Chains A and B, each alone.
Chain A
Amino acid sequence: MARILVVDDEPHMRRILATNLQQDGHAVFEAGGVEEARKKIASGEYEAVITDQKMPRRDRSGCPAARTAG
C-alpha cells in the first residue's frame, strides 16, 4: 500500500483515479490545483504524485504541478 497524491483540476477525473487506486489498496489524497498540491506536499509524505500535466494557476504562469511538487 502506498500514499498517493492525485492532482487534477477536473474533479470527475480525480474521483475516478482515486476510486481505482483505493480499490487497489492505496491511501489516496486529492488536490484540485497547483497551490493545494504544494501545500499538501509541504505538510505530508507521499510515495507517488499522479498529476495532470497542464492546469490553470491563479498566477497564470502555467507551471506544471509536477515541477512544483518535485
Chain B
Amino acid sequence: MNTDLERSPRLIPQTLASFKRQQSKLAILNLIVLATLLLIHTFFANHFGLPTPTLLTMLGAAFLLRAVELIWVQQRTSPLSPFGLQLLTSGSIVLNLALAFTAALLTNRPDAQYFVLLAMPIIEAAFTFSLFSTLAITVAAGMLNFLWIVLYGWRHGQVLPNEYFDAATISLIYGCVGVLVWMLVNDLRTNQIELARNMSELEQTRERLLVEEKLGAVGRLSSAIAHEIRNPVAMISSSLATAMRGTVDAEQREMMFDIAAKEATRLEQLTNDFLAYARPRPPTKVVNNVADLLAYVADLSRAHADSRSVSLTVNAPDELLCDCDPVGLQQLLLNLVMNAIDASPPVATVTLTGKGASGRVLIEVENWGEGIPPDDLKHIFEPFFTTKLRGTGLGLAIAHTIARSQGGDLTLTENGPDRVRFSVNLPAAVGASIEMVKH
C-alpha cells in the first residue's frame, strides 16, 4: 500500500486536512512576501522610487491569484493527485520566477528587492520535487539573478563588480536554502513512510486478531450449543429405546416417556433462550417507573426466593423514571434476581435498588455470598457459561444483550468477599409526555 509513497521523492499530503494545511501555508507565505515587498518598496520610495502603475497592477494581479489559490485550496473536498500537485507547484514556480524578473525590470535597479520572490519557487520545489529538480530550480533562480545584472549593465552601460559578487552570494544562499529545505522535507517523508508502514502493520494485526477472536468465539459457541443439545437428545432417544424394551413394566415405561417429554421441553426452552440471546426482540421504549418495575420483578421472584429462604428488598424513589422497553427490562432483571437468589446462602437478602445518576438510571441487584472466582469473571457474559448444576448459562448473556439493546449496559460492580452486585445502567426518561407503563 506504500509503494506510491516510497517511489515518490515528494512529501505527499495523505489526507485532505494535510493537503489543505501544506498548500494553504505556501499560498499565505506567498501573499505575505508580496505584501511585504510592496510595503518596503513604498516605505523606501526615496531610494527605489514610487512603484509604477504597471508594477502595482502586476503585483495586485499576483496577490489576487494567490488569494484565489488559497480560497480554492480551502474549498477542496479531496486532496490533489500527485500529478495535480506537481502541476500546481510548477505553475506557482513559473509565476514567481517570471514575477521576480519582471518586477526587477520594472523597478530598474541592480539591487531589485523583488528577487526575494525567487526564494519561494526553491522552497516549493523542495517540498514537491526531487533533489535534482530542486537544485535545477535553484540554478535557474541564480541564473535569473545574473541575467538581470548583465541586462542592467547592457541597458545602463556599466555594472559594478560587487553586483556580480552580490548575485553570486544570493545564488549561494538560494542553493543552501534549497538543499536544507529538501533535506528537512526528505526527513519528514522518511518518517511519514515509516509511520504509514507501522500503521499498516498495526491495522493488519488488528484485523487478524479480530478474525481469530471471531473464529474462537464461533468455535466456543458451536461446542457449547452441541454440548447443550446432545445431552437432552441422548436422553430422549435412550429413554424411548428403554420404554420400547419388552421387559419393562408399565410404571417404568411411564417414567421413560415422562423423561423424554421433560427433556424435549428442556430442549424447547433452550432453543427459546438461545433465540432470545442471538436474536433479541427490538426494544419498544416507553417511560417506566423504576420503583413499580422493581416491585413487579420482586413479586415474580418471591416464590423462588421463599423456597430458598431468601428475602427480597426493593429500594427506589417513587419519582425515578427510565426510558426503556419494560418487557425486555423485566426479563433482564428477572434473570439477575433469579441468579442472585440461587447464589445466596439460606436466610440471606437480595436487594434491588434504583437510583438516578447524571442523566442515567442505575438499577442494582445485590446478593450476599462469596464473589465470583477470578477465573470465571471474563466468561460470565458468554453464552452457555454456567456454574449452576441445572443452568443453561444463557441468563447473564441474555441480560447483557438486553441491556445493550436498550442503550444501556450491564456490569459486575462488586464481587465479594461477602456480596455480589450487578448494575444495569439505563437512559433516564426525558420529559414526562410519553405514556407511562403500569406494572
A-B contact pairs, 26 of them (CB 8 A): A9-B389, A10-B231, A10-B235, A12-B235, A12-B239, A12-B262, A13-B235, A13-B238, A15-B255, A16-B235, A16-B238, A16-B239, A16-B242, A16-B256, A16-B259, A19-B242, A19-B248, A19-B252, A19-B255, A20-B242, A20-B245, A23-B242, A23-B245, A56-B389, A60-B373, A60-B387
Q: Which residues of B contact A9 (CB under 8 A)?
A: 389
C-alpha spacing A15/B263, complex, angstroms? 13
A20-B242, A23-B245, A60-B373 are contacts. A12–B259 as well, Cβ < 8 Å? yes
Interface size on A, residues (CB 8 A): 11
Interface residues of B in 216-244 (CB under 8 A from A): 231, 234-235, 238-239, 242
Q: Which residues of A contact B389 (CB under 8 A)?
A: 9, 56
What per-residue 1/0 map shows which CB atoms of B374-405 lie under 8 Å from chain A?
00000000000001010000000000000000
Across the A-B interface, how many residue pairs have beta carbons closer than 8 Å? Answer: 36
Interface size on B, residues (CB 8 A): 18
Q: Which residue of B lies closest to A16 (CB)?
A: B238
Chain B residues with CB under 8 Å of chain A are 231, 234-235, 238-239, 242, 245, 247-248, 252, 255-256, 259, 262-263, 373, 387, 389
Interface residues of A in 9-54 (CB under 8 A from B): 9-10, 12-13, 15-16, 19-20, 23
Q: Which residues of B contact A19 (CB under 8 A)?
A: 242, 248, 252, 255-256
Q: Which residues of B contact A56 (CB under 8 A)?
A: 387, 389
Min CB–CB distance A15 → chain B (angstroms): 6
C-alpha spacing A9/B373, complex, angstroms? 22
Q: Which residues of B contact A12 (CB under 8 A)?
A: 235, 239, 259, 262-263
Min CB–CB distance A25 → chain B (angstroms): 10
C-alpha spacing A12/B389, complex, angstroms? 13
Min CB–CB distance B8 → chain A (angstroms): 61
Min CB–CB distance B356 → chain A (angstroms): 38
Q: Which residues of B contact A16 (CB under 8 A)?
A: 235, 238-239, 242, 256, 259
CB <8 Å contact, B373 and A23: no
Q: Which residues of A contact B234 (CB under 8 A)?
A: 13
Q: Which residues of B contact A10 (CB under 8 A)?
A: 231, 235
